C-alpha cells in the first residue's frame, strides 16, 4: 500500500499550497494502522499549535494568541483581505477626522440637523431612510423585528411586576374598542427588557462620566399600524423617581425615552448579539475543530469553510476594539469594565435552545408577528442548512453508535463542552451526542457563522450610521421629569461630534460588503470529492437559489427592503 499523508501543506512566500486526501473518513473508516497513526500525529501537532486560553473568566474561552501576529499562517487573512481591512479602516477614519476638523472638535451639536454634517460619502439607502424616519413610532417597532438586533422582542401575557403600566395610560394607543387586558390575552403585547444593563459600570471618557439606563419598553401590535411602542420606563426599579413615558407625552420627552432604549440596544446588540452570540461562540468551534479533528475527518471538512478568518478577526477585535485602550474605551458608554461584565451576565444565561431559530422563536412567542422578515428568512435558511448537514452526516454515520464510537468526534465534543464553554452549567447541550444531536449541533454552528452573523453584522451601518437612532454612549443621565426635556438636553446627552464620527467609521468598516467574500454554500476548496457528498452540496445550492428567489420576491415593491439574509449576501464564515 502506498501510504500518503492525508494532507500535505506548505508555503511559497505567502501562498499556501495544499495537497489533501479528498475522501472524508472517520477514524473507523481509516483501517490501516499507519493512517491512524498519522491522524494521531496530526492532532498532536495541532494541539501544540492551537491552545485554549481564558481571555476573561465567565465567557467562552478562546485561542491562545496575544495578537493576530501570533496565529499560524493557516489562520491569517491573506494579503488582499489584510490590506483591504486596514485601508478601509484608515479611509473611514481619515474621512471622518477631516469632518471633525471641519466641525468644531469635541463639541456637542446644536440640533439634530447637525448630524447631517457628517453624513458625507459614507452612505447607504437604509441609513438615509433611517435619517428621515427615525423619530416615527412604527419605525422603532420595525427595527425590533428587522433591524440589527432582531432577537430581543418577546410576547408577554402578563406585565412584569416592576413595570406598573395601567390600562388607561396606554388606552389612547389602542385600536378602537379594545383594551390592554384584552390585548395581553390576545397575544398582541410585546416587551423589550434591558434588565441586563442594570448597574453596569459606566465609562469615563476624557474625564467625563457616561451614563447607562436599563429600560423596559412595551409594544402593541396595532391592527392597522403594526408594532408600536406604547410605554417606556428607563429604570428597572419603579420606586426610583422614574416616570413611564408615553407617546402622548411632550414630543421631545417621548423621543428622548426612545433614544435611551436605542442606546441600550446599541450595547446589547454589539456586545451580546454580535460579539458574544456570534464571534465568541463560533471561536469555540474553531479551536476545538482545529485541535481535535484531523483534516480528513468529515466534520472537519464540513466545518472548516465556515471557520475561515474567524480567529484573526476575533484577535483584532480583542486587541483593537475591546481592549483597555480600544475603540469601546474611547467612545462607548460600556467601554472599560462594563463590556465584560455585560458579556459575563449574558453568558450565564446563554442557552443552546436560544441558538436554534425554531426554538428561539417559539420561546419568545413571536410566530404571530407580521412582517418579521428576519424570522421568516432565518427559518428558511435554518431548514436548508439542517437538511444539508443531515445529508452529509448520514453519509458517514448510520447510527448513534457510529457517533459514540468515533473517539475523535467525542474528544471534539468534550473540548467544546469542557474546554470552550466552561462554567456554563445551564447551557443545555445534551451530555451524549446522538446522530440527530450531531446534525443539530453542526447546523447551529453553520447557521451562526453564516446567517446569524449576517443578520447582526451587515446592517450595522444602515441602522447605526444615523447616530441619534442608535447612540453608542449617553453623556447625561436619563431625564427624571418629562416636562423638562429640551432640545439642548438631547444634544448634550447624545454622543459628541468626535464619538459620532467614530461610530460611523467603525460601523461602516464592519458593515460594508467584504470584497473577498465567499457566499454561503460556495467553497473555495474541494473538501469532499465523493460523488454522494457532491450531490448533497448541489441540493443545498439549489435550495439556496430558491430561497434567494423567494426573498427577492418578498421584497419586491417594499419601501424598506430586508435583504440581509439573501443567500448571495450571506458570507460562509465570520470574517469581519
Ligand atoms: C477589529 O483600531 C474589528 O480602529 C473591528 O472585531 C474594528 C477594528 C478591529 C479596528 C479598530 C481600530 C472587528 C471583531 C468583532 C466584533 C463584534 C463587536 C463589534 C462591535 C462594533 C462596535 C462599533 C463601535 C462603534 C463606536
272 touches ligand 1 (CB under 6 Å)? no
pLDDT at site 5: 41
Cα of 555 vs centre of ligand 1, distance in Å, is 30
Q: Which whole number is the average pLDDT over 439-468? A: 97
Cα of 204 vs centre of ligand 1, distance in Å, is 19
Pairwise CA distance, residues 108 & 86, whole Å: 30
Per-residue pLDDT for 164 more than 80? yes
4: pLDDT confidence band, cut at 50, 70 and 90? very low
pLDDT at site 11: 64
2: pLDDT confidence band, cut at 50, 70 and 90? very low
Alpha helix positions (H), 123-280: 125-133, 137-146, 167-170, 180-186, 251-267
Q: Which residue has the higher pLDDT, 372 or 102?
A: 372
575 touches ligand 1 (CB under 6 Å)? no
95: pLDDT confidence band, cut at 50, 70 and 90? confident
- Percent pLDDT > 70 in the chain is 94
Q: Which whole number is the average pLDDT over 78-107? A: 77
For 381-407, write each residue's pLDDT tens digit: 999 999 999 999 999 999 999 999 999
- Residue to mutate (ligand 1; options 118, 311, 321; most atoms within 8 A of CB): 321
Closest residue (by CA) to atom 2 of ligand 1? 320
- pTM (predicted TM-score): 0.95
Cα of 328 vs centre of ligand 1, distance in Å, is 8
pLDDT at site 119: 67
Atom number of ligand 1 nearest to Cα 507: 23
pLDDT at site 117: 72
315 touches ligand 1 (CB under 6 Å)? no
pLDDT at site 1: 34
pLDDT at site 20: 58
Closest residue (by CA) to atom 21 of ligand 1? 270
pLDDT at site 55: 96
> Quick one: DSSP state of residue 541?
H
317 touches ligand 1 (CB under 6 Å)? yes
Q: Name the helix (H) or strand (E) containing 301.
A: helix 298-303
Q: CB–CB of 557/53 below 8 Å?
A: no
Q: Which whole number is the average pLDDT over 239-259? A: 94
Per-residue pLDDT for 141 more than 60? yes
Cα of 379 vs centre of ligand 1, distance in Å, is 28
491: pLDDT confidence band, cut at 50, 70 and 90? very high
Per-residue pLDDT for 481 more than 70? yes
Cα of 336 vs centre of ligand 1, distance in Å, is 15
Pairwise CA distance, residues 368 & 186, whole Å: 11
3: pLDDT confidence band, cut at 50, 70 and 90? very low
pLDDT at site 136: 98
Q: Which residue has the higher pLDDT, 120 or 354?
A: 354
pLDDT at site 350: 97
313 touches ligand 1 (CB under 6 Å)? yes
pLDDT at site 8: 52
Could you give the 3-state DSSP secondary structure of residue 1?
Answer: coil
506 touches ligand 1 (CB under 6 Å)? yes
Q: What is the ipTM of this complex?
A: 0.95
Pairwise CA distance, residues 571 & 447, whole Å: 11
Atom number of ligand 1 nearest to Cα 321: 11
273 touches ligand 1 (CB under 6 Å)? no
Pairwise CA distance, residues 107 & 204, whole Å: 16
Q: Which residues contact 406 (CB under 8 A, 6 or more apart)?
A: 26, 27, 28, 397
Chain-wide mean pLDDT for the chain?
Answer: 93
Q: CB–CB of 108/496 below 8 Å?
A: yes
Q: Which residues contact 113 (CB under 8 A, 6 or more apart)?
A: none
* Alpha carbon separation from 398 to 159, 187, 401, 403 (Å, rounded): 48, 43, 8, 8
Amino acid at each position: 500500500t502506498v501510504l500518503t499523508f492525508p494532507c500535505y501543506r506548505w508555503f511559497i512566500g505567502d501562498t499556501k499550497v495544499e495537497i489533501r486526501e479528498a475522501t472524508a473518513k472517520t477514524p473507523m473508516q481509516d483501517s490501516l494502522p499507519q493512517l491512524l497513526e498519522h491522524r494521531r500525529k496530526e492532532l498532536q501537532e495541532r494541539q501544540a499549535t492551537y491552545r485554549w486560553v481564558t481571555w476573561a473568566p465567565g465567557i467562552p474561552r478562546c485561542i491562545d494568541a496575544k495578537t493576530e501576529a501570533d496565529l499560524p499562517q493557516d489562520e491569517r487573512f491573506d494579503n488582499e483581505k489584510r490590506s483591504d481591512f486596514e485601508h478601509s479602516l484608515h479611509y473611514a477614519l481619515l474621512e471622518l477626522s477631516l469632518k471633525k476638523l471641519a466641525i468644531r472638535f469635541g463639541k456637542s451639536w446644536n440640533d439634530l440637523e447637525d448630524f447631517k454634517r457628517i453624513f458625507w460619502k459614507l452612505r447607504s439607502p437604509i441609513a438615509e431612510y433611517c435619517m428621515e424616519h427615525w423619530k416615527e413610532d412604527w419605525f422603532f417597532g420595525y427595527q425590533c423585528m428587522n433591524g440589527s438586533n432582531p432577537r430581543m422582542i418577546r410576547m408577554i401575557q402578563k406585565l412584569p411586576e416592576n413595570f406598573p403600566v395601567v390600562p388607561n395610560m396606554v388606552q389612547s394607543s389602542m385600536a378602537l374598542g379594545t383594551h390592554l387586558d384584552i390585548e395581553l390575552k390576545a397575544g398582541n403585547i410585546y416587551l423589550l427588557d434591558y434588565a441586563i444593563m442594570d448597574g453596569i459600570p459606566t465609562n469615563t471618557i476624557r474625564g467625563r462620566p457616561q451614563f447607562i439606563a436599563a429600560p423596559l419598553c412595551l409594544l402593541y401590535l396595532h391592527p392597522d399600524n403594526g408594532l408600536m411602542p406604547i410605554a417606556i420606563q428607563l429604570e428597572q426599579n419603579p420606586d426610583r423617581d422614574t416616570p413611564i413615558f408615553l407617546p402622548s407625552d411632550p414630543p421631545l420627552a417621548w423621543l428622548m425615552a426612545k433614544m435611551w432604549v436605542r442606546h441600550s440596544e446599541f450595547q446589547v446588540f454589539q456586545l451580546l448579539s454580535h460579539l458574544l452570540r456570534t464571534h465568541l461562540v463560533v471561536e469555540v468551534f474553531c479551536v476545538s475543530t482545529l485541535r481535535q479533528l484531523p483534516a480528513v475527518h468529515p466534520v472537519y471538512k464540513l466545518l472548516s469553510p465556515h471557520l475561515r478568518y474567524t480567529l484573526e478577526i476575533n484577535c483584532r477585535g480583542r486587541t483593537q476594539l475591546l481592549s483597555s485602550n480600544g475603540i469601546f474605551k474611547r467612545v462607548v458608554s460600556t467601554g472599560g469594565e462594563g463590556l465584560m461584565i455585560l458579556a459575563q451576565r449574558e453568558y450565564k444565561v446563554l442557552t443552546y435552545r436560544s441558538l436554534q431559530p425554531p426554538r428561539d422563536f417559539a420561546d419568545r412567542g413571536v410566530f404571530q408577528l407580521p412582517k418579521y422578515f428576519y424570522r421568516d428568512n432565518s427559518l428558511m435558511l435554518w431548514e436548508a442548512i439542517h437538511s444539508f448537514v443531515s445529508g452529509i452526516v448520514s453519509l458517514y454515520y448510520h447510527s448513534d453508535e457510529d457517533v459514540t464510537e468515533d473517539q475523535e468526534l467525542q474528544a471534539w465534543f468534550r473540548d467544546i463542552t469542557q474546554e470552550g464553554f466552561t462554567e456554563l452549567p445551564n447551557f443545555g447541550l445534551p451530555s451524549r451526542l446522538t446522530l440527530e444531536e450531531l446534525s443539530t449541533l453542526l447546523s447551529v454552528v453553520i447557521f451562526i457563522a453564516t446567517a446569524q452573523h449576517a443578520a447582526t453584522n451587515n446592517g450595522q451601518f444602515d441602522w447605526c450610521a444615523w447616530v441619534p437612532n442608535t447612540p453608542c454612549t449617553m453623556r447625561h443621565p436619563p431625564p427624571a421629569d418629562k416636562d423638562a426635556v429640551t432640545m439642548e438636553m438631547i444634544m448634550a446627552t447624545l454622543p459628541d461630534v468626535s464619538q459620532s464620527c467614530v461610530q460611523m467609521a467603525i460601523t461602516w468598516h464592519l458593515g460594508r460588503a467584504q470584497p473577498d467574500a465567499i457566499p454561503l454554500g460556495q467553497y473555495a476548496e474541494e473538501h469532499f470529492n465523493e460523488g454522494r457528498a457532491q450531490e448533497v452540496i448541489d441540493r443545498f445550492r439549489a435550495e439556496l437559489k430558491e430561497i434567494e428567489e423567494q426573498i427577492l420576491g418578498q421584497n419586491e415593491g417594499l419601501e424598506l427592503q430586508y435583504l440581509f439574509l439573501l443567500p448571495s449576501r450571506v458570507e460562509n464564515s465570520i470574517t469581519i
